[in-house]
Amino acid sequence: MKLNNIYNIFSILVGNNSDVDYEKKPVIIQGITGSFGSKHANLMKSYGTNIAAGVTPGKGGSKFEDVPIYNTMKEAVEATGSVISGVFVPAPFFYKAAKEALDSGIKLLVAIPEHVPIIDSIKIFQYAEEKGARMIGPNTPGVIVPGIMKVGIMPAQPFTKGQTIVFSRSGTLMYEVSHHLSNSGLGQRLALGIGGDPINGTNLIDSFNLIQNRDDVDSVVVVGEIGGDAEEMLADHIIKTGFTKPVVAYIAGRAAPKEKRMGHAGAIVYGTYGSADSKITNYARADVPVAKSPREVPLLLKTKLRK
């Protein structure tokens, strides 16, 4: 079955519209014995994620804590039945690891590493589509379903269980905005990091398609930044599809000088293209208010929810 519709990511993680049919889905960590992978595998386990296996070539038969390690993804998938993989290998090895995962039946690939060559990202994105799978990232903090599981590097503290979705182009801002939402009593159903690279396996429009028909989601917060046209395209998509859930946005880098390259590879502005003004104007057409600071996000969202 093809999984081209991003809706299936949500189904893989939490089932259909509730936690009633939710099971602790098994997750495989590629690169689990590395310093980065091992640290975050422990944190994910502590949060409640079912880390069922790890993969490190040459270390099959050993264990990380109580997690069995396999030499190949094929062995790990056959042993666990997992369709979710968190990729923590260094960027030069990403293409091989990701392709092996997809060949082994993985349907949700959470690509953590930064500095992945663009050509490798494009190839894996296309290959995932051919395999009926979906990639989040690369250069993503991952995805978290608060109170249930997380696959990625995000801290647990900012997130609480609720019905608001957070989609973010920035990892640290995803944490900060979620923190302010949580403190205001607006928990999150899911928070997903789009990734800071020019090529995203899951973009903002894909992400909105994820929750278009979910009745366990009552609102959306989009954390964007200057550069590129992701927000402008999303505004058009909201208008064309008649998206009805309340949406609030925040855009980082509003005071940055034009033609300034920011921290993310895609965050560069040429003239007015990709500028904060361009994004704010387009969001206004779609009735999406833009907060001036992360702290203002829950205030705007509560106003939208009261309408």
Do residues 292 and 301 lie in contact, with contact meaning Cβ atoms separated by under 8 Å?
A: no
**CA-to-CA distance for 59 and 61, rounded, in angstroms?**
6
One-letter amino acid of 186: L
Catalytic residue among 40, 115, 180, 264: 264
Q: Which long-range contacts (CB under 8 A, 24 or more apart) does 67-75 make?
A: 67/29, 67/32, 67/41, 69/32, 69/33, 72/100, 72/104, 73/28, 73/30, 73/97, 73/100, 73/101, 73/103, 73/104, 73/106, 74/100, 74/103, 74/104
What are the CA-CA distances from residue 249 to residues 35, 38, 52 (Å)?
A: 35, 34, 36
**Whose CA is closest to 294, among 242, 222, 197, 227?**
222
Is 115 catalytic? The answer is no
Q: Which residues, at least 6 apart from 100, have a Cβ–Cβ distance to it below 8 Å? A: 72, 73, 74
One-letter amino acid of 41: A
Neighbours of 78 (CB within 10 A): 13
Neighbours of 115 (CB within 10 A): 12
**CA-to-CA distance for 177 and 183, rounded, in angstroms?**
10
Do residues 249 and 282 lie in contact, with contact meaning Cβ atoms separated by under 8 Å?
A: no
Residues annotated catalytic, as ranges: 264
